Amino acid sequence: MQTHDIRRRFLDHFIRAGHTEVPSASLVLDDPNLLFVNAGMVQFVPYFLGQRTPPWDRATSVQKVVRTLDIENVGITTRHNTFFQMAGNFSFGDYFKRDAITYAWELLTGSVADGGYGLDPERLWTTAYLDDDEAITLWQEVAGVPSGRIQRRGMADNYWSMGIPGPCGPCSEIYYDRGPEFGRDGGPEADEDRYVEIWNLVFMQNERGAGRGKDDFEILRPLPRRNIDTGMGVERIAMVLQGVDNVYETDLVRPVIVEAERLTGRRYGSDHGADIQFRVIADHARTAAMLISDGVNPGNDGRGYVLRRLLRRIVRSATLLGATQPTMDRFMTVVRDEMAESYPVLRTDFERIENVAVGEETAFRRTLDSGSKLFAVARDSVVAAGGSRISGDDAFALHDTYGFPIDLTLEMAGEAGLAVDEAGFRELMSQQRRRAKEDAQARKQSHADLSVYREFLDGVPTEFTGYTELNTDARVLALIVGGVRIPTAEAGADVEVILDRSPLYAESGGQIADHGRLAAAGLRVRVNDVQKIAKSLWVHRVTIEEGQLTEGDVVTAEVDPAWRAGATQGHSGTHLVHAALRQVLGSNATQAGSLNKPGYLRFDFNWQGGLSAAQLAELEAVTNDAVDADHAVNSFVTDKDSALRMGALALFGENYPDEVRVVEIGGPFSMELCGGTHVTHSAQIGPVTLLGEQSVGSGVRRVEAFVGLDSYRYLAKERALLAGIASSLKVPGDQVPARIEQLVERLRVAEKELERVRAAAAASAAGDYAARAERVGPVALVAERVPDGIPAGDLRTLAIDIRGRLGSQPAVVVLLGSVDGKVPFVVAANPAAQQSGFAAGTLIRSFASAVGGRGGGKPDLAQGAGNDPAGIPAALAAARAAVAAG
């Protein structure tokens, strides 16, 4: 049974039972206690606490959940996940234990034909809280579970809470017995690998206080109404229903591993260490995609740091498995393809999701490439010397010189069974920066293992025929899988193929590899990627779709002509943009990297400061003038010195052979050393549309552009957008900017007038509030809820004004309001009140929690904010009580 079907059956089952389907909440909620939503019931907490009236008596949902406490264990075990789906049914003061048990049992054991999961009831075990005799009786009466398969467990196992103050209660869990091959007899108490938990039924009836751990907290009071909160792990039940050993082998997770296998050439299940990395990729790719889809971006703290760490662990794991090129776009694509049926945003917002993930990968790969090599040197040195700790000097070198995060050093050291001298690291961070940089540079070394390719690298390099033809006959020189040469490969295999000659372009110079195929009688092979080894050997990464491929075979190697046409447009367009940049900005705008693929180009260049709108417009105009001129595109081979004397541009830092290929467009307009494929005339590039420019690092800027039909499509969308705006504003398109400027100016005037009116209203209101002051002991107290919509700054001004109108008598002002679901509040105390022992900063703490907030300040003035407007009456009452208590 596929996971999407499992989700649908769950929801349909409870809808038939009168539940309302509620969409999953975002993983990011406005809750100061939670980094991410960590349980299916989080969005329902106000209903469980009685703070808000639920719009339904019973509900069902499949909630996105992220838990990051176990991030270090992901991959090491098959039981830990950061992202998972929690299916749940909820009752808000409606049904309780009997019906909750009935609904769960009917779904689990009901026939597949009737919408159930069809599990064998003889393989199900249940647990209950130690003194929950009622639940034990119901399991026997309702579900027919014999007493021998019901186990009583303590608070740590069978008393549920969110880990923070809030609703809680005893629970019953349902376990599935996977059989003796997975562990020993004795039920969940004996072995939770064999007996896997699939459902937890929480009988929510109490509210807990602060505490630590699963069983160290106080039960404060009963909830206003008894509720039901259940959670069925979708991935867990999928594992059971699909008959696989763990969640990583289920239908929505395993495809990520399959893609990682394809990208790295390694095989899942063949090596424990590699399996850990495969599982990290599979878990974190899903989590990262879901977090980005909910608006989280990589950063250096909070949620952003968690996302950054997940993405970087993916990159590192892929690298450890042997990936030498970016992989994030592929992993994000697989997650989208597998998960979008249940989460359409992964498809509709995919471009942004991919860009965020790929951008982080791009930045981190530079860090990882150098840092991992240095770490390996340090690790090997410690092990060879019989030591057990990475020095602070090495850890500092990784962090300071190469941007390698200290937490990643700690993690990698832990995996190697080593410690890190953190104290030494901290000291060097502040005292020995220069020496650490010099030491790190001296240790920088490492080379890839090219032994399997050595025979071919030492012989005749691959003959590339793709400049003049799109297909050629070639001989298979070798087949390689996982770094090992094999004689033959069957349909379905992913293989590296070395040919004596090839028309397929190998990724280099910013141009991504050609797509294409290898063909012969009874043989069909898809070419997914082509990479260069030591700049001379073409390695084709392929999937055999039909037939058998054997070393020595003669095949026809073919380039996908549509792909090549688009790739040449992108690469030639990049040359035009480079030449145009130098015209607009000058010769100091030198290339710092590029990427071009069908319909798109990206060009990085060294430059300080952003480009103005006028510079961008000129850049685009110069580029398209060169397209319109239909310059001839010529290429020739010469020696490097001659090429440079002719004015050909070379990428700084690149090592070129003695003989180089020069590509010129329009004679002196553009001349560069380049091994890429190109159009024959510049008009074939089509229009070039700049998408903008941005910083990608210190002193490095990036421009991106569409070319050809992609450029046309982009411009068509922009034209339609402008037409829509012009229609809305009822002006011709060329008058839209002026009309918008007029509207913005009118808005500024209106805002200033509104501010004047608000100030006048506040001054008038201050007198009214002061007139209503009540006498509480020796204090004149104004404790009021102001009208909704008054922002915090205005609230502060109003409180100060009221305080001033109360004269020299001891006076305290407490004001609370509501703005877009937030609760700003202010306390002001005059000197006489302060002398009587009333401090604003202290008083604010007496009521802030009632609105779910906090605040602070000085004795004369304090302010803060909460997130629960329903608590305002209780907050005012608490403030009055605090003043009355003196």
Question: Buried b vs exposed e over 415-449: b needs ≥16 C-beta within 10 Å?
Answer: eeebebbeebbeebbeebeeebeebbeebeeeeee
Q: Is 631 annotated as a binding residue?
A: no
Question: Buried b vs exposed e over 684-708: b needs ≥16 C-beta within 10 Å?
Answer: bbbbbbbeebeebeeeebbbbbbbb
Q: Token digits for 290?
A: 């879901």
Neighbours of 26 (CB within 10 A): 16
Q: Is 681 annotated as a binding residue?
A: no
Radius of gyration from C-alpha coordinates of the chain: 33
Q: Is 540 annotated as a binding residue?
A: no
**Side-chain half-sphere CA neighbours of 825 within 13 A:** 38
Question: Buried b vs exposed e over 604-633: b needs ≥16 C-beta within 10 Å?
Answer: bbebeeebeeeebebbbebbbebbeeebeb
- Alpha helices, DSSP H, located in 294-344: 302-320, 328-339
Task: Judge whether 841 and 857 are in contact, CB under 8 Å.
Answer: yes
Computed from CA positions of residues 170, 176, 182, 186, in that sequence, does the dihedral angle turn out positive or negative?
Answer: positive
Spatial CA neighbour of 207 closest among 386, 84, 49, 96: 49
- Whole-number Å distance between alpha carbons of 822 and 828: 20
- Whole-number Å distance between alpha carbons of 196 and 188: 8
Q: Per residue, what are the HEC states of 688-720? A: EEEEEEEEEECCEEEEEEEEHHHHHHHHHHHHH
Q: Both ends of the chain: CA-CA distance in Å?
A: 66
**3-class DSSP assignment, residue 726:** helix
Which residues fall within 8 angstroms of residue 278, CB to CB, at 6 or more apart?
75, 248, 257, 260, 261, 266, 268, 317, 321
In the chain, % helix, strand, coil (3-state, to 5) comes to 45, 25, 30
Q: Is 575 annotated as a binding residue?
A: yes
Computed from CA positions of residues 233, 238, 240, 241, in that sequence, does the dihedral angle turn out positive or negative?
Answer: positive
Task: Please give the annotated binding residues, written as ranges.
Answer: 571, 575, 674, 678
Q: Which amino acids are annotated as binding site for Zn(2+), given as ranges?
A: 571, 575, 674, 678
